[in-house]
Amino acid sequence: MGKSTGFIEFERNSEPYRDADERVLDFREIYTGHDESLLTNQGARCMDCGVPFCQADEGCPIHNLIPEWNDLVYRGHWREALDRLHKTNNFPEFTGRVCPAPCEGACVLGITDPAVTIKNIEMAIIDRGFDEGWVVPILPVNRTSRQVAIIGSGPAGLAAAAQLNQAGHNVTVFEREDRIGGLLMYGIPNMKLEKIRVVDRRLDIMREEGVQFVTGAHVGNGENGSHDIRQLLADNDALLFATGATIPRDLPIPGRGLNGVHFAMDFLTNNTRSLLDSDLKDGKFTSAKDKDVIVIGGGDTGTDCIGTALRHGCRSLMNFELFPQPPVERASDNPWPTWPKIYRTEYGHEESANLFGDDPRVFAISSTEFISDDDGNLKGVRTVDVEFTDGAFETISGSEREWPADLVFLAMGFLGPEHLVSDALDLEYDERSNYRAAYGGYQTSVQKVFAAGDCRRGQSLVVWAINEGREAAREIDRFLMGSTQLP
């Protein structure tokens, strides 16, 4: 694959983001345009390795044919590269932007040298496919009489809908928000994934292919105007829960109820909705302008809160992380091809350092109290430093500090799915409150009901959600027809 000596001749060279001074002034995507010569050289670096771990379980849950489309890009065969990409991935324009690229962590070249820029190449292939008009609606050859309801329009639900529709089934996706997309629409900010140009573009194709979407669909026990889940099950031949893991992890310390302490996803959702509705002119969001902001929790959601607060014009910004700072290189207990748990500077950290002079992160710190002013508003956070030894955290005596804060965003992950949508069916849940359904089979304890994505496996990556949505579609098709041709 690639050029036989390419991995020796060419160094890793990623496509840059827009300049931090420029991009922090707007909510347009942070990415720059694609450089074909740069991407060709990166495709040339792909080795003819005996086992391409990049497309194995360690690297890519949907088993993208990465060496094949790397080679095709190197040779200038972009249309063929797009065909290979779509064989395994319904939405490469999403994963090429927001996936953390475990494939690069598993790249064989990464044993001795920086990995191939797989994520850049993936994004460039699909972007060129849309630019050239190669991505068009593909209608199913035949329609069956089978009806399938999908609850939730995030990446798992959309992937399942796309696959089941191609199998000829009549698919309706129910979404409680006012726009389709779930996490893709409201959980990821516009500067990482543009909603109209990228998300809506794919949704329009799915509509033309025959998928039906229903927004504002609160599914539950039929009370308070909600869709009765029992009636939906009776009206359809199969039902798939793809509701995500939407219960956020809380921080129940003194002062939690103060004005100014928010869950991260509420902050991000309201900001994106206001951005799309009115370009942030309606005021229906929490503004960080001229505020001292603290984000508690790392990961992508924490970084997205940082980037959003900076674009509002916050006065200061800090990011607290409970765990110690990870190493720059892989630790001995984190060998290739596992995901490298190393110190990374993401787009929000770079933007904050550019504005305020320092990386916003403070590691090995635990918040102990939210401090109130005389009116019940947040004015600060008390913390203590911690050590992580023998699998437990211990506080460091004398390390107590106070930090000014007008806003705190809790970005500490998610605990599981909300059960209001499903309790009326008496589904079984696992010990973590997820829907109990075996991986690979996806059928729950109730006949005709399946589950996939974060609501089944717990909080995970977009690419895992796509994997589960595709596989659940395969099993639903098998359940409906007795056999399946879906991959």
Q: What is the pLDDT of residues 110-155, one digit of tens each?
A: 999 999 999 999 999 999 999 999 999 999 999 999 999 999 999 9
**pTM of the model as a whole:** 0.96
Give the class (CATH, top level) of 250-412.
Answer: alpha beta
Fold of 6-131: Fumarate Reductase Iron-sulfur Protein; Chain B, domain 2 (1.10.1060)
Answer yes or no: same fold for 147-246+415-481 and 250-412. Answer: yes
- Report the CATH architecture of 147-246+415-481: 3-Layer(bba) Sandwich (3.50)
pLDDT, one tens digit per residue, over 310-367 is: 999 999 999 999 999 999 999 999 999 999 999 999 999 999 999 999 999 999 999 9
**Pairing of the two strands 247-248 and 401-404:** unpaired
Dihedral (C-alpha) 269, 308, 466, 450: value to the nearest 10 degrees? -30
Write out the H or E segment, with its range, that includes residue 362.
Answer: strand 361-363
Strand boundaries in 160-315, DSSP class E: 170-174, 212-214, 219-220, 227-228, 238-241, 247-248, 261-263, 292-296
Q: Do β-strands 316-321 and 361-363 pair in parallel, antiparallel, or remain unpaired?
A: parallel
Model confidence pLDDT, tens digit, residues 61-92: 999 999 999 999 999 999 999 999 999 999 99
How is the chain split into domains, by residue range? 6-131, 147-246+415-481, 250-412
C-beta separation of 429 from 243 below 8 A:
no
Q: Cα 243–164–101 angle (5° rounding)?
A: 60
33 alpha-carbon distance from chain centroid: 22
